[in-house]
Amino acid sequence: MNIFFGRFIKYKFSFQQFYLSFILILSLCIKVEAQNISPHPSTLDIASQYNGNKVTLPYGETEFSNIFTINSTKITLSNIEFNLKEFSKNTKNTPPRADAGNKKIGSTKELITLDARNSFDEESELSYRWRQVGNSKNKINLINPTTSQPHFTVPDLTFAEVINFELTVTDSEGLSNTDNVSVIIYPHNVSNIFYHPATEDKAWLYNGNETYISTGKNGESGLRIYKKVYKGDQILAKFSISSPHSTGSLFSRIDNQKAYLSHNETDFYHLFTITSDQTTDLTIAAGTFPHSGIILSDIEFILISANPDPTLNSEPIANAGLEQTVSSGDNVTLDGTGSGDLESSLTYKWKQIDNSGITVNLRNKETVNPTFIVPASSGVNTISFELTVTDEEGLYDKATVNVLTLPGLLQRFTPSNDTNIIYVSNRKGNDEAATPISASEIIDPTSPEKKIIPFKTLKAAMSQLRDGYPDWILLKRGETWVNESFGILNKSGRNIKERILFAYYGNKGDRPVIKSGPLSGLLANNQITSNIAIVGLDFYAHTRDPKSKDYVISGQGETGLAFVGGGNNILIEDTLIRYFKNGAIVQSFDGKIYKNFTFKQSIILHSYSIPSLGHSSGLYLEGIDGILIEDNFFDHNGWNEEIKEATATKFNHNIYIQTNNIGKNIIVKNNIISRGSSHGMHGRAGGLFENNLFISNSIGLQLGYKTTPLKIGTLAHAKNNVILSGKLMAPTGGDSSTTKAVWGLYTETNALDEGGEVLVENNIVANAVYHGDSNLDYKMVSGGVYDNNLSYNWNFYNDNFDPSWKNPNSNIENYMSNIDKEPTLEAFLNILSSRKLNDRNKLFTATEVNNFIRSCFNK
């Protein structure tokens, strides 16, 4: 329902429950007057969900009037026709309310995120400003201090400290309000005096019988710990309770100092500094006990000593570093530099401890950074290492780390006896002296054991390819070619197992970079081109990148990888394509047909065009029989807000699959697709779209096209997709090239007119960032099957909110916080955009994120 102030509106409803889609702030006074045309057969309920106030239109009456202070309004109607006579709000601007969140705690190197999201204003959007206040020995570097959720990393510390931050929120008319929050930060070198976990058999539970862990002194019931501490020492006291207490008092008392837990909080943190010469009394206590059912748990006292005993030797701390994902042939370095000891130097000893069946030759295994070459293996394996660090007095600690190994290039592609290996190195190559090397002369082409003379330029390397042979062009990892490209490809490999391969060699360094500027990275133009694989390369139109020092102010640009014509078996894998007009195109042309195109584990970013030069997409596919798009990342394709003429339009998309592809042979699964100009996925031809994550697209996923129904025998099947944060195409206005569509999963009206089928099941569409007249979560068509789909906070009509949902407002920021990363969408996208060669971090896959979002909806 759209409510317009001061207008007379008439509605008729059949039996349903729904929630008003407009946002009403808690202190907003709403006057509602409704007149029923005839006495209602049941009841009209209008109630505030915030404070439970409810006023019901009595049976037999026709007029209703009441004033509410409302958060959101639930209406239950049964076949009622009524006129909305008046809907008004208080127009006086009131100051906003600042809420800096709850007290926080963190130790050295920990990421702390402040949170002002509970701040609000009745009339307008808020601006935020955070600053550190008070006297502090540590100056905090606060990241993004003008956002609702700034963050910082706790610095190295000797003593604990309470850091105070002031939040100022300001509305659009300049009215402001402030709030403060404190953060306790403390060092690593602490002693845990006491800890007791959240287990009911030991927790402090008030159940009417007043049962406690123990009894304190002075009539205070609670927990008392006896530990001698001294003047200048710091004690960090922590505990939690199962629910906020409305009566009584809970506090910690140390050295005759008291700190209380507020009635609206469940987590207690307080830093005490001992002022007496010494004390032995550490207490968690209750003055008057809170109401029945409170469980107190997770009690902890942490000592930060002012004068640690120099005669005591503390245990060292072992740290075996971060988990890594590598491939066969890679040179891997383990990292024990995070280990440490307060009193002495350490010795290191590493050993392999897994049962993978893979034996690693660990070099320098008694140093802080041993190395090894990943052995060849099939499939995915996990190799585990144990690090033992020992101090000068024999105390030791252990830590483990896992290394995930993937099949290397040689395990996925096997050269034939007559394969020519064409090596290319921009640094050490020599076009005149180089010659291809027969694969029969080399054991591992990716790490040649014999001396080679590589070619220097891509053009010279391309001239060595033979049509019908499985030749390989391998570029040196970590090197860059500037203003070069592979040019025109007019040759094919022998068959699907004996392809022409464009890939890399070397056991360290990132993808080879081809900076092609305004040129295509590779172009098959009106050719029959078959049995081609492009693996592990970086195609970069560097002169089209506004952030590049080589940027040229021009709309000129070509396609990163273009296959126009026909052929079979084209594979693009683990490849990065960025800043082209179109990232990749595969297009059957001039009577030729492409079959079996696979695009997997790759990245396409920042494709854009200006109107005079045509349309732009990340991936454009036309006339293909057999498409697999799997485990990729597509971001910010079809537009670039930094370039005046490259604005978002309805013609440009992240992925554009035309109607003349063979829909029954299309599979698109496990991709992350974000910030497209218009569509995340324009699936005109139908096919299977499974477990994809769509973020901040104007239109998430569209099935079918209005002028071309799905072909008979074609199923458009969307299952298990998650669509989040729908955005407006042109936030500052638009023209005929834009629309106001904010659509989640859209089925074209005539999709079934020629015998095709539509099945949409188990999808989630949630939390649009823009709400307007054109918001649509699901567009359904008669004859389609729609089952077990979920919609929340996208548009008013289909919202199926369930109060039992764990956290329906969850988004990418929540996911990042859940995995202890910077909680921003920008950080999430940056990690995906900068994914290294052969990196398979499962935390940044559609499957992991989608499973998290589903769990927030109890799915």
Q: Over the stretch 450-468, which tens digit does the pLDDT of each residue have?
A: 899 999 999 999 999 999 9
Residue 31 has pLDDT above 70, yes or no: no
pLDDT tens digits, one per residue of 199-256: 433 334 433 333 334 333 333 456 666 677 888 888 888 888 777 776 667 777 787 8
**Is 60 exceeded by the pLDDT of residue 396?**
yes
- Please tell me whether residue 583 adopts helix, strand or coil conformation: strand
CA–CA dist 465, 480 (Å, integer): 21
Greater confidence, 195 or 832?
832
pLDDT higher for 174 or 548?
548
Question: Poorest-confidence range of 214-228, 434-448, 575-589?
Answer: 214-228
650-706, pLDDT tens digit by residue? Answer: 999 999 999 999 999 999 999 999 999 999 999 999 999 999 999 999 999 999 998
Could you tell me which residues are beta bridge partners of residue 235?
Answer: 272, 303
Q: Where are the alpha helices (DSSP H) in 782-845?
A: 812-818, 825-833
With CA atoms as reference, report the closest residue to 531 among 598, 592, 582. Answer: 598
Contacts of 785 (CB under 8 A, 6+ apart): 757, 758, 759, 760, 761
CB 241, CB 261: distance < 8 Å: yes
Written as one string, the DSSP assignment of 185-204 is EE-S--EEEEEE-S-TTTSE
The predicted-structure confidence for 499-524, as pLDDT tens digits, reads as follows 999 999 998 899 999 999 999 999 99
Q: What is the mean pLDDT of the chain?
A: 83
| Separation of alpha carbons 743 and 779, rounded Å | 8
pLDDT at residue number 61: 57
Q: What percent of the chain clears pLDDT 90, i.e. is strictly above it? A: 56
pLDDT over 80 (residue 54) = no
Neighbours of 192 (CB within 10 A): 10
Q: What is the pTM of this model?
A: 0.67
**Cα distance between residue 449 and residue 456, in whole Å:** 20
- SS3 state at 639: coil
Q: How many CB atoms lie within 10 A of CB 180?
A: 12
Residue 34 pLDDT greater than 70, yes or no: no
DSSP H helices, 780-845, are 812-818, 825-833
* The pLDDT value given to residue 555: 66
Q: Residue-wise over 668-698: b if at least 16 C-beta within 10 A, else e? A: bbbbbbbbbbbbbbbbbbbbbbbbbbbbbbb
Q: Is 776 helix (H, G, I), strand (E, B) or coil?
A: strand
Q: Which residue has the higher pLDDT, 30 or 436?
A: 436
- Provide the token pair at 283: 């207490």
Would you place residue 258 in the very low, low, confident or very high pLDDT band (cuts 50, 70, 90)?
Answer: confident
CA 840, 843, 848, 853 torsion: positive or negative?
A: negative
pLDDT, position 197: 52
pLDDT of amino acid 308: 62
Amino acid 138: pLDDT: 87
